[in-house]
Amino acid sequence: MYKTILLHIGRPPTWRRGMRAAADLAKEHEAHLIGLASTGYAVLQNSAAGAGAFGLYPPIGYDQFRSEARQRLQEYEQAAAGYAFGSVESRVIDDAAEYALALQSRYCDLVLVAGGATTEASPLLPGRLAGYLALHATRPVLQVATRAEPRLDGTVVIGWNGGAEASRAMAAALPLLRRAARVQIAVFNPDQGPHLHGDEPGADVARYLARHCSNVAVINENTSADPGEALLDLARSSGAGLIVAGAYGHSRFREWILGSTTACLLDQDEVAVLMTH
């Protein structure tokens, strides 16, 4: 069960989509929900110190950033009051969002962010917030789509390649899989890694999941498409609201050359994605 859920309260109002999913989960699991807003204070302080080395001291309104973060949390608390679930907490952290969430993930069961959220430590080169957290957080990361209503209790698609990352993601998603109406285990091109699947690809993991949830099916498919695109196509055709997959299962060099399934899944904003490394 998810007894402590950490929700990123970002600057764009897209966090409200995440709020609905977090509130539904908190109500179901009788969980404690923590809303975290970052000010970026430490990043600004480091930037100002670097500029000071050249005799430049740009004016920075620290109070303004803290006030803005508190305003977001007030809106979060007002939104939370509209849901009937357990305890709610607000936290302001004077750091970049990715660092604050990675640190606080040690004390929760699930980290929830909205699709499209980006890192803050390098404003000129923002990255995927969920991607950073999948690598550095100690708990699973759920990226909620902002272009569609959250549907976490319908059909769930699991991207299964037999790797350790996929296994950990599946185990982390068990509270969601138990409530799913249907679970589809997608095994693409199993002949490319027969030592990871056994004689009957997907059979062992299906038997394992069947002890936790009902209506489990295995889909074996040979495809020339990118695994991420293949998972998204399956999710769309089956009406799935959630994809579960391991994050960064290959070396970063290989992913840079051949493309990253993780990046493909996190760059879209139609289906929720649960990941862990």
Instruction: Write the CB contacts of 73 (distance below 8 Å, at least 6 apart in sequence).
Output: 9, 35, 37, 90, 91, 92
Q: Which residue has the tokens 């957290």?
A: 133
Identify the architecture of domain 4-144 in CATH: 3-Layer(aba) Sandwich (3.40)
Among 114-123, 204-213, 236-245, which stretch is predicted with the lowest mean pLDDT?
A: 114-123
Q: Which of 152, 113, 150 has its CA nearest to residue 133?
A: 113
Residue 254 pLDDT grade (very low, low, confident, very high; cuts 50, 70, 90) = very low
Name the strand (E) or helix (H) holding 117. Answer: none
Domain edges within the chain: 4-144, 155-276
Q: Report, in angstroms and rounded to the nearest whole number, the Rg of the chain calculated over CA atoms.
A: 20
pLDDT of residue 46: 54
Taking only the tens place, the pLDDT of each residue in 44-85 is 655 544 444 445 445 556 788 889 999 999 999 999 998 877
Span 155-276 CATH architecture: 3-Layer(aba) Sandwich (3.40)
Section 172-200 average pLDDT = 87
Portion of the chain with pLDDT greater than 90, in percent: 66
The answer to whether the CB of 192 falls within 8 A of the CB of 258 is: no
Taking only the tens place, the pLDDT of each residue in 194-232 is: 677 777 889 999 999 999 998 999 999 999 888 999 999
The answer to whether domain 4-144 and domain 155-276 are alike in fold is: yes
Under the banding of pLDDT at 50, 70 and 90, the label for residue 122 is: confident
The 10 Å CB-count burial string (b at 16+, else e) for 153-172 is eebbbbbbbbbebbbbbbeb
> Quick one: pLDDT at residue 259?
44
pLDDT at 199: 78
The segment with the largest mean pLDDT, out of 63-67, 177-181, 246-250, is 177-181
Distance CA 185, CA 203 (A): 10
The residue written with tokens 């960064």 in the block is 248
Residue 188 has pLDDT above 70, yes or no: yes
**Mean pLDDT computed over 129-135:** 95
| pLDDT at residue 175 is higher than 70 | yes
Q: Which residues contact 33 (CB under 8 A, 6 or more apart)?
A: 5, 7, 22, 23, 26, 80, 85, 86, 87, 88, 89
- Contact residues for 51 (Cβ-Cβ < 8 A; gap 6+): 57, 58
Distance from CA of residue 219 to its chain's centroid? Answer: 24
- Tokens matching residue 102: 């990675």
The pLDDT, as a whole number, for residue 17 is: 84
The pLDDT value recorded for residue 139 is: 97
With CA atoms as reference, report the closest residue to 115 among 276, 274, 277.
274
Residues paired with residue 88 on neighbouring β-strands, in sequence order: 33
Helix (H) or strand (E) holding 8: strand 4-8
3-class SS of residue 122: coil
pLDDT of residue 124: 76
